[in-house]
Chain A
Amino acid sequence: MEMETTISLLDIRPLVPELTMICVGLIVILLDLIVRKKEVVAIVGIAGTLVALYGTYKLYGFYEPQSAFSGMFVLDGYSNFFKLIFYLNIILTICISFKYMAIEKASFGEYYALLMFATTGMMIMASAADLIVLYLGLELMALSTYILAGITRKRQRSNEAALKYFFLGAFSSAFLLYGISLTYGLTGTTNLREIASALQTLDLNGSPIMYLGLIFMIVAFGFKIALAPFHMWAPDVYEGAPTSITAFMSVGPKAAGFAVLGRVLFGAFAGMQVQWASILIPMAVLTMAVGSIIALAQTNIKRMLAYSSIAHAGYMLLGVITGTTGGLMSTVNYLAIYLFMNIGAFAIVIMLRREGFQGENIEDYMGLSKSHPLASALMLIFMFSLAGIPPTAGFIGKFYVFMEVIKAGYVYLAIIAVAFSAISAFFYLRVVMYIYMKDPKEEVVLTRSPSMSIALAVTAMMVLILGIFPSFLLNLVRYSILG
């Protein structure tokens, strides 16, 4: 299957956004040595991301598929939409981490550079059309996030989070490699499109070895997305990592994991839908159950949001299980909405953190509405959205996923999902109840900054706008995926 290939300079063109991100990451590190004000470094990071965003949008036509480097790298609507999510993720993360990292005494150039490298890894994952590129993109993302989780290295909790994340991540990537090796052995290729055609011509769809390889790959992606039973690391790591990084990794790696899951399952293994659905259905049910039920018992808000993000991964997985393009679209749509509501919620958590006060217990929110009505109202919006209560965007996301699941004939899955969704409303509303119906124990002082206000305004507005006028996002998703 190997053939002579030549690579010309033109092949670099689709990679311009990635190259921009890497270059800006390097500039950020160098700038950190010269500039004393760390705000400048962060702004350069945001500006670089905007340049990359411009590159993705304008230079290459948002929806036109292109491939480069002998078919290893593709640029299509699917990958571009995910890149949009990653750009927003990093910009919002930088906005909310500005003041916070200064309080944590870890605001230095490498922090922003590693955020950019991690995002580059995610972008490569979204564009990967070959398992080798996919693996390397995943490692680039993972290694950067391991470091970021442990970047406040004076704090024992941060050390421990990095340690747990690293060990389970490295363990899972060994499984990914094992899966890739079996796939390579059976099909003779690692290119996703060639795998799909080899599965047909060699009649491998029923092969148990192929099934084993697929299971190993799903296990590895499941680790990254935090699907039960591979979610054990998530609560610990989300609690221990700096909150801004928790926000970053609860969206970025999860979205990237779904990007490759969709690409691999729909692109290469579409013929084995029955087999992979039979693995993913129990995983999805377990994920929703673990996320919704264990979250009820949490007293730490970061831990609660960790279980909530596990539950959300379960809902998103339902769209993939259907095996239809509509299902995939509903998952992607959900991810975009999840980005705004989740980062918004973490932004409020970060605002409670100040010098000498963690502000991570749910009890710290008692009576917040008395002293800070605006922040309380925003938290109310985010909690309602996470719970999926109309007219917020969270409702739209869940609604479309459940519709597609019913359309594909998995009515029982939709019923289970609605039930768990109702259970999960309890712990979101508990936070709201603490804010509005309890008396304050002690006065809460919020740490404000202009960038934080921008991030909160953007996320809250998007949650409301997408909840009331969902058609804009839905059309964008439809055009991106269908072309």
Chain B
Amino acid sequence: MIYEATVDGHTVRAEVRAGPGEGRYTVRIDGRPLEVDVRDAGPHTMSVIACGHAQEVFLEPREGGYRVLLRGRVLDVGLVEAARGAGTARGAAGGPARVQAPMPGKLVRVLVRAGQDVGAGQGLVVMEAMKMENEIRAPRAGRVKEAPVQEGQAVETGALLVLLE
């Protein structure tokens, strides 16, 4: 299998081939080969040995990839099968920006209204979650196209708070 793997903004080509031998794989990262020996150690845990280096890895399937935990460090890996991934747009730059609720919570205040110009970092709404008030800020400067929310309203993760154009 060939994947386009994205970690922290870097995309590499990862080719993974099984065998020979149980639990053995060859992974080529942008052509560099790495031989690894892998055993499952539970539903979310693998023991990986690569050239003698042992690593305990915790993995959680997430939308479009995995969250990987390496000795206390967290990395989110996006995986796209290369055949299918070819030509996939990366999200149009300069298009409208959707500001979404990063967590479920209650909207304490809506600080902007449609038609208003906002600067990068300007507060858009104030959400209350887990007893704290959190200000959600504009990711970039722009004009508020829509703010389809009301004060006092409860929102779920991912709910559209403000649409910037």
- A and B associate in one complex: no
Residue positions of A touching B, CB distance < 8 A: none
